Amino acid sequence: MGRTALTKISVIGMGYVGIPVAALLADQEGLDVTGIQRRSQRSGWKIDVLNTGRSPFEGDEPGLDRLISRVVKKRRFRVTEDFSVIKDMDIVLIDVQTPTDGADHKPRYLSLKEVSRQVGTHLKKGSLVVIESTVAPGTTQFVVQPILERKSGLKAGRDFYLAYSYERIMPGRLLDYIINLPRIVGGVNKKSRDKAVRMYKKIVKADVLSTDILTAETSKTIENAYRDVNIAFANEMAMVCESLGIDVYEVRELINSRAERHMHIPGIGVGGHCLPKDTWLLGYGVKQYGRSPINPEFVQLARKINNFMPIHATEMIKEAFASRKVSLRNARVAIFGVAYLEDSDDVRNTPAYDLIRELEAHGTEVVAHDPYVQTFPEAELSRDLYHVVKGSDCIVIATKHKSYFKLNLNKIKSLMRTPIIVDGRNVLDQTKAEKAGFLYKGIGKG
């Protein structure tokens, strides 16, 4: 008997979405996966790291290191910068960033359009193309599909197949979320959808749900807008509790004692690639392709509240400095954590950006510590916590990395010029911090 023919898959974009899905697919019998990554100064180094069987992520990603090592050793996964390999591919997944820009928050599809042109140029007849990047509703059919058809000379749904399936990942749980969360798949027609569903069922243990492309795109942006709104509610109530002189975390615990209530956790801000932009993508899609000019104002207000939290933290620092006769202009502030998420090296849209900019606008010297992040141009960054603390007037806990729950407060205080802590993630016990001699301020704590 002859060997079963390999299904060749290309995953474009070796980031937090592309790497784990590529590795999981490469681990399945009968699948051969090629990652494609531009060799730019910022991210081209990932090609060499991945081809040696290592993960480029510094944060804790259970199982990913072993998985990448295994599929590279089996020669089922490799990474290249050569887009021409697409000509041999049966399936192409597109996982590139889709940021929003400017005051009007319009999507910037430079990478998505360029990759679509490359895919269309090399696309093989009968192939399946799947967009996994988060996009405004309508983008796959009105932006990507025409580019693919023009460049390839092929017709979507007839000569090649086109689908949209959004990721639901979170750093720290990349494999877990891909494998165990339900997958939503939309197709330009039934055959496109069915082909994509069959592929995802090879790696997803949960339900794989199918719909049309527009519904799938809209579901992704509304799903993230829903979470953003709930976080904004928690953040606004945190400021309410500060004003009343009570603890929002106690309030939250009392509310959530009722099983069908679930108040979210407040904090210093919302980061990551998706939440800070998906509300704007939703609004853009409605404006461009909706039948009536509705503007989703409620979710946009929530976005503004979450964007305000780093500014609110700066106001807390100002208040603390005023009580200790410290000038912002002459102060040194130590930021603990620049990743947007705990135990991760992901700094995309981290609230630390706005916090640092706010402080530096007042002439404040800002230094930062993070146990996972290697480079952070916004501020002087060190992995030596005590070096960062030395001579500082305030510590701001911006990320709840697990190591920050075990801080030696007495040693830290001895190194500081002014012992002030602003806790943006409810990491420290207020009573213990005050007993150690700190002026403690926490978001949501009166």
Mind telling me the catalytic residues?
A: 220, 274
CA–CA distances in Å: residue 281 to residues 135, 251, 375? 7, 33, 29
Helices 297-323, 351-360: axis angle to 10 degrees equals 50
Contact 175, 67 (CB under 8 A): yes
Give the integer Cα–Cα distance in Å for 402 and 302: 28
Contact 151, 86 (CB under 8 A): no
The type of residue at 10 is S
| Burial label, 41 (beta-carbon count in 10 A; 0-12, 13-18, 19+) | exposed
Query: What's the distance, Cα to Cα, between the start and end of the chain in Å?
Result: 74
Give the integer Cα–Cα distance in Å for 79 and 67: 15
Contact 136, 281 (CB under 8 A): yes
Q: Residue 4: CA atoms inside 13 Å, Cβ hemisphere, count?
A: 7
Structure tokens at 232: 């904004």
Give the count of beta carbons closer than 10 Å to the beta carbon of residue 246. Answer: 14
Q: CA 369 from chain center: how many Å?
A: 20
Structure tokens at 188: 């330009």
Q: CA 255 from chain center: how many Å?
A: 29
Structure tokens at 415: 């190194």
Give the integer Cα–Cα distance in Å for 19 and 167: 12
